[in-house]
Amino acid sequence: MSSLAATLAPSTVRQIHLVLAGTLNYAVRDGRLVKSPSDDIRLPRIVRTPRGYLTHDQVARLARECGEFGDVVRFLAYTGLRWAGWPR
């Protein structure tokens, strides 16, 4: 996991470990392994950073600047939906 931690975000490393550990734990329950090698792995800590949010005025200004996409900007800003999740 340390080589993954060097190139991937801590949350990604934890997700990979979760899948791998689940598979190995299944092998233990099935009698194919005596112990899961994933049990003793130290995972990287996730450092939570404060989130920044736009004010209502900033959203309004951004929507104006986006012209015909202003309604989309408002919708995304107030629902929390990401741009990648918007059907185009």
| pLDDT, position 27 | 97
Name the pTM for this structure.
0.56
* 17 belongs to a structural domain: yes
What's the average model confidence in pLDDT over 79-84?
83
Per the structure, the count of domains in the chain is 2
**In the predicted model, is pLDDT for residue 7 greater than 90?**
no
Question: How many Cα atoms occupy the beta-carbon half-sphere of 58 within 13 Å?
Answer: 6
* 45 belongs to a structural domain: no
Domain that residue 20 falls in: 2-40
Dist CA 68 CA 19 (whole Å): 43
Largest CA distance in the chain: 63
The predicted-structure confidence for 14-56, as pLDDT tens digits, reads as follows 999 999 999 999 999 999 999 999 999 999 999 988 989 999 9
**In the predicted model, is pLDDT for residue 88 greater than 70?**
no
3-state SS, residue 52: coil
Same domain, 36 and 62: no
41 Cβ neighbours under 8 A, 6+ residues apart: 1, 17
